[in-house]
Amino acid sequence: MTASTEKPRTGSYEMDRAHGLTHADVFGSLTFTGDVMLKRLPTDVFDKLQRTIRQGLPLDPGIANTVAVAMKDWATEHGATHYCHWFQPLTGTTAEKHDAFLSTDGPDGATSTISGEDLIVGEPDASSFPSGGIRDTYEARGYTAWDATSPAFILTSADSATLCIPSVFVSYHGEALDKKTPLIRSNHAVSDQALRILSVFGADAGVTHVHTTLGSEQEYFLVDRSFYQARRDLQICGRTLIGSPPPKGHQLDDHYFGAIPARVMAFMTEVEHRLCELGVPVKTRHNEVAPGQYEIAPTFENTNVSADHQMLTMHVLETVAEDHGLVCLMHEKPFAGVNGSGKHNNWSLSSDNGVNLLNPRDETHTNMQFLVFLTAVIRAVDLHADLLRASVAYAGNDHRLGANEAPPAIISVFLGEMLSDILDQLEQGDPRSTKKGGSLDLGAKTLPLIPRHAGDRNRTSPFAFTGNKFEFRAVGSTATVAWPNTVLNTIIAESLDFMATELEQRVGGDRSPERIERIVTSLLQEVVKNHRRVVFDGDNYDDSWHAEAERRGLPNLRSTADALGALRTEKAKKLFAKYAVLSEVELDARVEILYERYYKVVEIEARTLVSMLRTEILPAALRFQTELAGTVTATRSAGLDCEDTRDQLQGLIGLVGELRTAADAVEEAETSPPEDMVAHASHVRDALIPAMKRARAAADALERVVPDDLWPLPTYAEMLFIR
């Protein structure tokens, strides 16, 4: 909901502060939704639009003109001069092409307009976006289409304001060329199947739609802008390609949840203010594990809106950081050897009357409907662990998955004590009890007795049940959440379809509660037996889990090059096509882009690395070599012994030699890739990345011996600790 009073605002943070406006005052003030819509649209138009937004019903094109004019009036009152269709192409970023409201064809000179058609479709010459071969460059036509279910908003930057209309992006033939179209399709697929389950339980009365819900926590690093400007690797690749670990990392755990530094707090406050204006329900902020690392998390929303809000969150973090002389690093692993960043994807299912379908409630063992949804998730993750893994596979995330700070590449489900106990009971017969958490006595009478959850948390699991939702923790911090959620929704839709079909067939006409309970229990028992291997409540960081997972037959797809193959299987093609999420052509296109991005990203890193080694590191090392050689000569000519310095010089010359050889090896691996896309990715994994690691080791060894005043780059210690 928006702020109750609609104040014309220009998005000036400083003015808001001067007028004492709080986050709550400005919440949603730059979005066309809720109260604003209600006030500015005729009732029938408002109602029709709400039915599309809330109940997933088809959009009535007849209302477009009225909505367009109201939106334009509202936006111009807030200083907007332009509008754009704002969409998420397959680059993994957002795109916008602005058009002025100004129109000069009228007989009276200039007017300010936007028509219903302008609102509903756009036709950018978008030939330069990746299409994965769906479209040749000479076939430039693509369409953007209004997604009325995500609120339009005004984006301000410098002195300009632009009305952004959330949109999808498709080809001339209607193939999805963006991340949102399949996400929206996958939401419908989940809804259709979830409604069938509700209907088996007679719980579908008054429910027209089931939403997936999403709250994604964003981790990020902040570094001072001057350091960023002095590092080519950060500028080009978003991560450091060389750099020796600082003497102190997060060993003392004194940064995590620590007091937020004043400069960072000023940054966070402005970020939250701006996100509130855009209707993003930001909620939580804290220091993260690594020095210089932080987190921001919103309250969950329906997945489609949440996915747009997530993109806005990254945009606002990056732009506000600049105003504060900082740079926000969103990369999964900006600093080797230091905790990386993820984007925990909290996901659940909710009916349109607001019931969370993954809420176990008190006597969980009797809550058959919940258990059906729960086991459907377990089944989906077991059958399609490879697809979930592939959905988070890209070069940046490879540094993080399995690096003892994030879950391994093995996808498993954590359920916790209470639910695992119910699965045990199910495997042995009818479940008869639900474990209770009880309460916790803190041993001091002035402290309260606190209610305890029925199970502990597990921070090491890639897919953890956390009370009334699942937390998919393998998503990387730069990810566009639309894609992993598209995959998640699709595999869930398939599982719900399976469960619904089995139940419908077995239940038949006789729907007495006892009969339904008996049939549901036996189906649950079968599914639990077949798929329990994917459930693991232990420590996913422990090495023994790798062996155990292998024994259980769970896939362990370590790198992107290993993981992407899952999206090329017949199983995957059939699945996405069956639920009308992606046709085979659309899926193939995406896979091609994912492979291409993988090797292109690593190759850009490789070239950046070689240029830094040759033009920054090597010259610094040679300068030191000259200094040392000078010392040796001068000392000797003074008639003194200089063996130690001579040895030091000898050692340095050795390291310089290693660096030269390693840089040559990176260059060679980078310039000779195979033609075929899959072979190219394997070559990057097997030859280029190891060569880069060796070069990095050589550079880092030099960093430890070359004097500070000769070292050309800001060090890890400077970047992480100077704020």
- What's the closest the beta carbon of residue 516 comes to ligand ADP, in angstroms? 26
What phi and psi values does residue 722 have, to the nearest 5 degrees?
-95, 115
Binding segment for ligand ADP (CB under 6 A), chosen from 86-94, 98-106, 346-354, 500-508, is 346-354
Tokens of 284: 């939580």
CB closer to Mg ion, 405 vs 497: 405
d(CA 419, CA 515): 24
| Residue of 169, 221, 300, 576 that binds ligand ADP (CB under 6 A) | 300
| Residue of 86, 143, 347, 472 that binds ligand ADP (CB under 6 A) | 347
Return all residues near 406 (Cβ < 8 A) that are at least 6 apart. 340, 342, 400, 473, 474
CB closer to ligand ADP, 182 vs 215: 215
Task: Count the residues in the chain.
Answer: 723
Binding segment for ligand ADP (CB under 6 A), chosen from 183-191, 210-218, 220-228, 625-633, is 210-218
> 67, 152 in Cβ contact below 8 A?
no
CB closer to ligand ADP, 16 vs 332: 332
Under rule CB under 6 A, residue 469 binds ligand ADP: yes
Alpha helices in 440-542 (DSSP H): 482-507, 513-531
- What's the closest the beta carbon of residue 348 comes to Mg ion, in angstroms? 14
Binding segment for ligand ADP (CB under 6 A), chosen from 179-187, 207-215, 246-254, 568-576, is 207-215
Per-residue DSSP letter, 617:
I
Residue among 219, 235, 536, 268 nearest 405 (CA) = 219
d(CA 294, CA 330): 10
**Judging by DSSP bridges, how do beta strands 82-87 and 160-171 pair with one another?**
parallel
- What's the closest the beta carbon of residue 295 comes to Mg ion, in angstroms? 9
CB closer to Mg ion, 344 vs 696: 344
d(CA 476, CA 601): 15
CB closer to ligand ADP, 340 vs 673: 340
d(CA 491, CA 585): 19
680-710 burial, b at 16+ Cβ within 10 Å, e below that, comes to bbbbbbebbbebbebbbebbbbbbeebeeee
Helix 482-507 to helix 570-578 angle (10° resolution) is 80
CB closer to ligand ADP, 405 vs 471: 471
- Binding mask 602-641 toward ligand ADP (x if CB under 6 A, else -) reads ----------------------------------------
**Of ligand ADP, Mg ion, none, which one sits near residue 501, judging by CB under 5 to 8 A according to partner kind?**
none
- Binding mask 482-511 toward ligand ADP (x if CB under 6 A, else -) reads ------------------------------
d(CA 328, CA 176): 31
Under rule CB under 6 A, residue 468 binds ligand ADP: yes
119 CB-side CA count, 13 A: 21
**Of Mg ion, ligand ADP, none, which one sits near residue 215, judging by CB under 5 to 8 A according to partner kind?**
ligand ADP
Under rule CB under 6 A, residue 220 binds ligand ADP: no
What phi and psi values does residue 688 have, to the nearest 5 degrees?
-70, -50
- What's the closest the beta carbon of residue 541 comes to ligand ADP, in angstroms? 17
**Of Mg ion, ligand ADP, none, which one sits near residue 469, judging by CB under 5 to 8 A according to partner kind?**
ligand ADP
Under rule CB under 6 A, residue 299 binds ligand ADP: yes
* Residue 4: Cβ-neighbour burial (10 angstroms; 0-12, 13-18, 19+): exposed
Q: Which of residues 356-385 bind ligand ADP (CB under 6 A)?
A: 356
**Of Mg ion, ligand ADP, none, which one sits near residue 87, judging by CB under 5 to 8 A according to partner kind?**
none
Under rule CB under 6 A, residue 213 binds ligand ADP: yes
List Cα–Cα distances, 133 to 137, 177, 598, 599, in angstroms. 9, 11, 17, 17
- What's the closest the beta carbon of residue 230 comes to ligand ADP, in angstroms? 33
Residue among 440, 465, 461 nearest 360 (CA) = 465
> 342, 477 in Cβ contact below 8 A?
yes
For the four alpha carbons of 618, 623, 624 and 625, in that order, the dihedral sign comes to positive
Under rule CB under 6 A, residue 416 binds ligand ADP: no
> 97, 86 in Cβ contact below 8 A?
no
Binding segment for Mg ion (CB under 5 A), chosen from 191-199, 338-346, 630-638, 654-662, is 338-346
Residue among 290, 295, 289 nearest 246 (CA) = 290
Under rule CB under 6 A, residue 224 binds ligand ADP: no
CB closer to ligand ADP, 185 vs 344: 344
**Of ligand ADP, Mg ion, none, which one sits near residue 91, judging by CB under 5 to 8 A according to partner kind?**
none
| Residue of 181, 348, 367, 485 that binds ligand ADP (CB under 6 A) | 348
Q: Which residue is nearest to ligand ADP (CB)?
A: 215
How many residues contact ligand ADP, by CB under 6 A? 17
Tokens of 659: 């660096």
- What's the closest the beta carbon of residue 168 comes to Mg ion, in angstroms? 29
Angle formed at CA 531 by CA 529 and CA 532, multiple of 5 degrees: 70
Q: Which residue is nearest to Mg ion (CB)?
A: 344
CB closer to ligand ADP, 71 vs 330: 330
> 585, 573 in Cβ contact below 8 A?
no
| Residue of 40, 324, 344, 469 that binds Mg ion (CB under 5 A) | 344
d(CA 312, CA 213): 17
What phi and psi values does residue 344 have, to the nearest 5 degrees?
-60, 130
- What's the closest the beta carbon of residue 347 comes to ligand ADP, in angstroms? 6
Per-residue DSSP letter, 156:
E
- What's the closest the beta carbon of residue 654 comes to ligand ADP, in angstroms? 47
- What's the closest the beta carbon of residue 310 comes to Mg ion, in angstroms? 14
CB closer to Mg ion, 215 vs 714: 215
- What's the closest the beta carbon of residue 473 comes to ligand ADP, in angstroms? 9
- What's the closest the beta carbon of residue 390 comes to ligand ADP, in angstroms? 22
> 378, 535 in Cβ contact below 8 A?
yes
Return all residues near 1 (Cβ < 8 A) that are at least 6 apart. 28, 34, 35
d(CA 592, CA 169): 18
**Of Mg ion, ligand ADP, none, which one sits near residue 356, judging by CB under 5 to 8 A according to partner kind?**
ligand ADP
Per-residue DSSP letter, 476:
B
| N-to-C CA span, the chain | 37
Binding segment for ligand ADP (CB under 6 A), chosen from 297-305, 433-441, 548-556, 576-584, is 297-305
d(CA 164, CA 316): 15
Question: If DSSP codes are grouped into helix, strand and coil, which group holds residue 317?
Answer: helix
- Binding mask 297-336 toward Mg ion (x if CB under 5 A, else -) reads ----------------------------------------
Binding segment for Mg ion (CB under 5 A), chosen from 69-77, 103-111, 285-293, 342-350, is 342-350
Question: If DSSP codes are grouped into helix, strand and coil, which group holds residue 23?
Answer: helix
- What's the closest the beta carbon of residue 297 comes to Mg ion, in angstroms? 8
- What's the closest the beta carbon of residue 35 comes to ligand ADP, in angstroms? 23
- What's the closest the beta carbon of residue 316 comes to Mg ion, in angstroms? 21
| Residue of 284, 404, 428, 615 that binds ligand ADP (CB under 6 A) | 284
Amino acid at 328: C
Under rule CB under 6 A, residue 341 binds ligand ADP: no
CB closer to ligand ADP, 346 vs 460: 346
Residue 20 CB neighbour total at 10 angstroms:
7
d(CA 154, CA 79): 9
Under rule CB under 6 A, residue 215 binds ligand ADP: yes
Summarize as ranges the residues that interact with ligand ADP (CB under 6 A). 213-215, 217, 284, 297-300, 344, 346-348, 356, 468-469, 471
Summarize as ranges the residues that interact with Mg ion (CB under 5 A). 344
